[in-house]
Amino acid sequence: MASSEEKDSALETSQTSKPSAAASSGSRFWKQVRENIGVVVIALLLAFLLRTFVAEPRYIPSHSMLPGLEVGDRVVVEKISYRFHPPETGDIIVFNPPPQLRRQGYNPNQAFIKRVVGEPGQILSVRNGIVYIDGTPLVENYVAEPPTYQLNPVQVPKNKLFVMGDNRNNSNDSHVWGYLPRKNVVGRAFFRFWPLNRIGSV
């Protein structure tokens, strides 16, 4: 039979062990919280870096790129290739508005999407529904209809681009407001991921 002193000692041991277990449980909880916060922060940082330097999704807001791109389409815009070479004729690019559009009230961060038609140094003109580059007709199987306007020959300046919407007669583009500074280009649209029934390259 245990003595009174032995019982008291066992009781004290049992009581002192309970706070220790509770403290251990609380420590594990806060450790898990810190780990979860760390994972979330890293994920957000990676998402920010990917969106800033690699690629980002964009929404098509207007009819200017019909028939290839429709209002509501979602595309992926990649930002890597133009670090190695400049935009080329035929590329579909996303860009921020140049000064001449900002003066019209457009938000500097608003995104536009058009096709590159003229590169620096090229002479571009539009006659009788045909776009000419350096005197050679541009083959365009992607336009909604031939342009009804005329454009006298112009030479694209250094570090500038001449861009047009594929919906030639319903596009606010370089034939209206002039050249696009190369520095305003955000990236190249290359893949449509929505709607699913039209998923694929653009």
Domain boundary among 15, 31, 53: 53
Same domain? For 49 and 67 the reply is no
- Among 27, 62, 64, 158, the one annotated catalytic: 64
Same domain? For 99 and 131 the reply is yes
Structural domain total, the chain:
2
- Among 79, 114, 160, 171, the one annotated catalytic: 114
Same domain? For 156 and 106 the reply is yes
- Give Cβ neighbours of residue 181 (< 8 Å, ≥ 6 apart): 98, 159, 160, 161
pLDDT of residue 25: 72
Same domain? For 48 and 85 the reply is no
Residue 138: which CATH number?
Answer: 2.10.109.10
Same domain? For 143 and 99 the reply is yes
Same domain? For 116 and 30 the reply is no
pLDDT of residue 119: 98
Same domain? For 159 and 128 the reply is yes
Q: Is residue 7 among the annotated active site residues? A: no
Domain boundary among 9, 34, 53: 53
Same domain? For 184 and 93 the reply is yes
Same domain? For 83 and 173 the reply is yes
All residue ranges of the chain with pLDDT < 50 are 1-2, 5-14
Same domain? For 33 and 100 the reply is no
Backbone angles phi, psi at 81, to 5 degrees: -60, -35
Domain boundary among 9, 32, 53: 53
3-class DSSP string for the chain: CCCHHHHHHHHHHHHHHHHHHHHHHHHHHHHHHHHHHHHHHHHHHHHHHHHHHCEEEEECCCCCCCCCCCCCCEEEEECCHHHCCCCCCCCEEEECCCHHHHCCCCCCCCCEEEEEEECCCCEEEEECCEEEECCEECCCCCCCCCCCCCEEEEECCCCEEEEECCCHHHCCCHHHHCCEEHHHEEEEEEEEEECHHHCEEC
The b-or-e profile of 62-87 (16+ CB within 10 A means b, else e) is bbbbbebbeeebebbbebeebeeeeb
Domain that includes residue 12, residue range: 1-53
Q: Is residue 114 among the annotated active site residues? A: yes
pLDDT of residue 33: 78
Same domain? For 83 and 96 the reply is yes
Same domain? For 29 and 85 the reply is no
Q: Is the pTM of this model over 0.95?
A: no
